[in-house]
């Protein structure tokens, strides 16, 4: 991995602690965590972890943890945020 390279992994939220310990053992620092929920009212399902090589003095345990992204609203429709993600990937999400 290049010195300024980025490593991204998606993992079940129940394994959150394992991601941190694995990153540390691999010499990586977690820079950002994006939690995902299936539905706004449900618990977090998985996280997307953005990592880079540890730098001197970097303990890797103070990542930017973003607000959870919800895929569906309480009534089951796509959230606006997730609809925008789908549209960006050229997947029609919004009705015309």
Domain annotation covers residue 96: no
Instruction: Write down the pTM of the prediction.
Output: 0.83
Q: Which helix (H) or strand (E) holds 36?
A: strand 28-39
Predicted local confidence at residue 56, as pLDDT? 75
DSSP letter (8 states) at residue 40: T
Least confident range from 25-29, 60-64, 77-81, 89-93: namely 60-64
Domain annotation covers residue 25: yes
Domain annotation covers residue 20: yes
* Partners of 30 in beta bridges: 51
Q: Can you give the residue range of the structural domain that contains 56?
A: 7-88
Domain annotation covers residue 1: no
Handedness of CA 82, 11, 48, 91 (dihedral sign): negative
Number of domains in the chain: 1
Pick 55 or 60 by higher pLDDT: 55
Predicted local confidence at residue 35, as pLDDT? 97
Quick one: average pLDDT of 35-53?
Answer: 95
Domain annotation covers residue 2: no
CATH code (residue 58):
3.40.50.150
Predicted local confidence at residue 3, as pLDDT? 85
Task: Determine the straight-line distance between the first and last CA of the chain, rounded to whole angstroms.
Answer: 44
Whether the predicted pLDDT of 60 surpasses 70:
no
* Partners of 48 in beta bridges: 10, 34
DSSP letter (8 states) at residue 26: T
């Amino acid at each position: 991995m290049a010195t300024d390279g980025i490593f991204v992994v998606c993992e079940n939220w129940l394994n959150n602690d394992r991601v941190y310990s694995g990153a540390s053992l691999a010499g990586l620092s977690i820079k950002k965590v994006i939690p995902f929920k299936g539905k706004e009212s449900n618990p977090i399902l998985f996280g997307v972890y953005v990592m880079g090589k540890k730098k001197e003095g970097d303990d890797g345990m103070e990542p930017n943890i973003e607000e959870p992204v919800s895929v569906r609203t309480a009534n089951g429709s796509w959230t606006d945020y997730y609809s925008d993600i789908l549209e960006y990937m050229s997947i029609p999400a919004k009705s015309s």
